């Protein structure tokens, strides 16, 4: 029973982890907290659903969806964010992403209505436990790929330079605009995975990612908002904490379980304000 709950928590946590990773990547490489990250993921999940409904095999629809999400992320950065960013403060950007959130949500409801739709599982014949572990594995793989690119490639070097100091990066000949667009694209692609991972259990509807976004913010904060590893670890922790508390803490039950990860975060941040894996700025005193 405990083991089953644990695995189930990991499965849900994988979805939170992927969205948290998307949030952290956007924040770390562009300095923007993207409140619309979850809604973009929801939109991508609808695209996946539409593709599968039209007869495309699941494992073909998935990469196509990820590619579409990537292009959408790039397009949002190029058309909306970049225009607002030049000459606007941080608050304007925050409000812009909240505006995007509302817009995308309304758009999805307009096109697909707010009816609940069943979304296919990636492993339809596997027992629930195995597909949950599979989802956690996918989150781990994505993290590994991100870490590999960021740590060990020329592109990653350029991305880290832009994150550290966009002006100096520009003076070093880096096409900063392209790097930012790429960051948004990558985040949107990873976010799409989150939506696809969670949709089989949550059912597909325009408000599907609203609660997930809260959990993912929680996960990112728990892990340290600038740490990709922290985002994934935080996501899995939040998923497990939520599931276990819902089952074992009698007074929590199904209604209160959304509060559990938040309580956990407050506790962690009181002891370690940077989050579990967050880094202090490297500076000579």
Partner 1 sequence: MTGLRVRELRAGYGAARVLHGVELTVDEGEVAVLLGPNGAGKTTLLRALSGLVRARGTAGFDGVALLGRAPDEIARLGVSHVTQEDGTFGPLTVEENLRLGAMARRRPRHGVSEDVARVFTYFPVLQAHLGQPAGTLSGGEQRMLAIGRALMARPRLLLLDEPTRGLAPQAAVRLFRVLRSINRHERTTMIIVEHNVTAVELAHRAYRVESGRIGDLRRSGRW
Contacts with partner 1 by CB under 8 A lie at 154, 157-158, 160-161, 163-165, 167-176, 281-284
What tokens were used for 146? 């991100």
Tokens 């922290």 correspond to: 230
Quick check: helix, strand or coil at residue 117? strand
Other C-beta atoms lying within 10 Å of the C-beta of residue 126: 13
Query: Which residue, 92 or 168, is less far from partner 1 as judged by CB?
Result: 168
Give the list of residues 6+ apart from residue 107 with CB closer than 8 angstroms, or none: 43
Query: Which residue, 57 or 173, is less far from partner 1 as judged by CB?
Result: 173
Residue 178 Cβ vs partner 1, minimum distance, rounded to whole Å = 10
Alpha-carbon distance 148 to 151, whole Å?
A: 5
The kind and range of the H/E element at 212 are helix 208-223
Residue 285 Cβ vs partner 1, minimum distance, rounded to whole Å = 10
Residue 268 Cβ vs partner 1, minimum distance, rounded to whole Å = 24
Residue 278 Cβ vs partner 1, minimum distance, rounded to whole Å = 13
Alpha-carbon distance 23 to 99, whole Å?
A: 17
Query: Which residue, 117 or 160, is less far from partner 1 as judged by CB?
Result: 160
Residue 130 Cβ vs partner 1, minimum distance, rounded to whole Å = 40
Residue 154 Cβ vs partner 1, minimum distance, rounded to whole Å = 7
Query: Which residue, 96 or 227, is less far from partner 1 as judged by CB?
Result: 227
Query: Which residue, 150 or 193, is less far from partner 1 as judged by CB?
Result: 150
C-alpha distances out from residue 149 to 62, 143, 156, 170, Å: 21, 10, 5, 21
Query: Which residue, 169 or 186, is less far from partner 1 as judged by CB?
Result: 169
Alpha-carbon distance 15 to 195, whole Å?
A: 7
Give the list of residues 6+ apart from residue 93 with CB closer than 8 angstroms, or none: 32, 81, 84, 85
* CB-based contact 126:134 (threshold 8 Å): yes
Tokens 């894996």 correspond to: 277
Residue 165 Cβ vs partner 1, minimum distance, rounded to whole Å = 6
In eight-state DSSP terms, residue 56 is: -
Residue 239 Cβ vs partner 1, minimum distance, rounded to whole Å = 30
Query: Which residue, 154 or 250, is less far from partner 1 as judged by CB?
Result: 154
Alpha-carbon distance 118 to 202, whole Å?
A: 9
Exposed / middle / buried, residue 52 (Cβ in 10 Å: 0-12, 13-18, 19+): middle
Query: Which residue, 88 or 116, is less far from partner 1 as judged by CB?
Result: 88
């Amino acid at each position: 029973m405990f083991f089953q709950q644990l695995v189930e928590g990991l499965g849900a946590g994988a979805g939170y982890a992927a969205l948290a990773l998307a949030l952290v990547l956007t924040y770390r490489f562009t300095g923007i907290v993207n409140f619309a990250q979850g809604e973009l993921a929801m939109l991508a999940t609808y695209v996946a659903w539409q593709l599968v409904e039209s007869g495309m095999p699941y494992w073909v629809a998935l990469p196509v969806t990820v590619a579409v999400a990537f292009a959408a992320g790039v397009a949002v950065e190029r058309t909306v964010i970049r225009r607002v960013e030049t000459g606007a403060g941080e608050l304007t950007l925050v409000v812009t992403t909240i505006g995007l959130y509302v817009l995308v949500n309304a758009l999805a409801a307009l096109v697909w209505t707010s009816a609940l739709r069943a979304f296919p599982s990636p492993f339809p014949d596997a027992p629930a436990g195995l597909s949950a572990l599979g989802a956690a594995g996918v989150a781990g793989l994505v993290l590994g790929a991100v870490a590999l690119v960021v740590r060990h490639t020329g592109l990653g070097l350029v991305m880290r330079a832009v994150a550290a100091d966009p002006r100096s990066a520009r003076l070093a000949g880096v096409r900063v605009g392209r790097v930012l667009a790429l960051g948004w694209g990558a985040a949107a692609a990873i976010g799409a995975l989150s939506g696809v991972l969670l949709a089989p259990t949550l059912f597909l509807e325009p408000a599907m990612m609203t609660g997930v976004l809260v959990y993912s913010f929680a996960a990112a904060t728990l892990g340290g908002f600038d740490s990709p590893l922290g985002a994934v670890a935080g996501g899995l922790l939040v998923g497990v904490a939520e599931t276990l508390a819902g089952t074992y803490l009698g007074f929590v039950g199904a209604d209160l379980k959304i509060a559990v990860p938040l309580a956990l975060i407050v506790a962690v941040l009181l002891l370690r304000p940077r989050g579990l894996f967050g880094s202090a700025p490297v500076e000579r005193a």
